[in-house]
Amino acid sequence: MNEPVIDDIWASLRRTTQARIGLGRTGNALPTAHVLAFRAAHAAARGAVHLPLDLQDLVRRATDVGIGTPAVVASRATSRSEYLRRPDLGRSATDLSAVPNTGADIGLVLADGLSPQALDAHGVGLLTALVARLSPSYSIAPPVIATQARVALGDAIGAAMGVKTLLVLIGERPGLSVPASLGIYLTHLPQPGLTDERRNCISNIHPPEGLDYSGAARITALLLTEAQRLGESGVRLTAEAHKNRLLD
């Protein structure tokens, strides 16, 4: 005999968030439907981490954006398993000889990060929106695709490109409600050895539930303009952006 589900007092708030609150209970346990949904979400998150990236397809679609054929860079992590166990290997490249030094204003790196699924789903759409927003004002180098990559790998790529500001579009760590979310990390004057305090992050880009591509491109353009005015990115750029209410 099935026991009735007793709603939690927070159940009405569930309509405002993807977080697992107000699930109710059956006896002393969670309702079976919510237990199964949790297991499915966990499996989806694991799948997003381990899903192989279709590199050829991504190169083809990124080329169609119209800013050049992407160069492909691999980190020193030789497998997904090693990438997860050795974050340090994901921060450095095996070979940067394919990366052209253009001296452009903007460099763009498409990195798989912890969710190749997010890069596959949103990478080219976000790249297209960024190019449309930034190309009238800035020169943009051909994109680089980085595999088994951590954010800091972009520093060496940006230095090899000779760009003033680097944007790393990278798959974010999957959550139990969002397995495919993309983030942008902005670094002005990228060079190897920088720490996270020199970067600015725009996260949760996963339309239709999260930030959409045009919204992310608009925020990026605002931060980019301010970074070029200050001559730096990171903590001070964040403070100036809030002080000047750029992101209101």
Q: How far is residue 154's CA from residue 109's CA, in Å, rounded to a whole number?
A: 7
Q: Any long-range contacts for 236-239 (C-beta under 8 Å, 24+ apart)? A: 237/188, 237/200, 238/200
What pLDDT score does 21 carry? 83
Coil, strand or helix at 71: strand
Cβ atoms within 10 A of the Cβ of 165, count?
A: 22
73 forms bridges with which residues in the sheet? 146
Instruction: Mark the ranges of the chain whose per-residue pLDDT is less than 70.
Output: 1-3
Q: What is the pLDDT of residues 129-142, one digit of tens each?
A: 999 999 989 999 99
Binding annotation:
151, 172, 201
Residues 6+ apart with CB under 8 A from 242: none
Instruction: Estimate the share of the chain in helix, then strand, then coil, as percent rounded to the nearest 5.
Output: 40, 15, 40
What pLDDT score does 73 carry? 97
Domain boundaries of the chain, sorted by first residue: 55-244
Phi, psi of 140 (to 5 degrees): -125, 130
Residues 6+ apart with CB under 8 A from 94: 73, 74, 75, 76
Spatial strand order in the sheet of 199-205: 71-74, 144-147, 106-111, 165-171, 182-188, 199-205
What pLDDT score does 218 carry? 96
What pLDDT score does 20 carry? 83
Q: Which fold has domain 55-244?
A: Rossmann fold (3.40.50)
Binding annotation for adenosylcob(III)alamin:
151, 172, 201
Q: Is the pTM of this model over 0.85?
A: yes
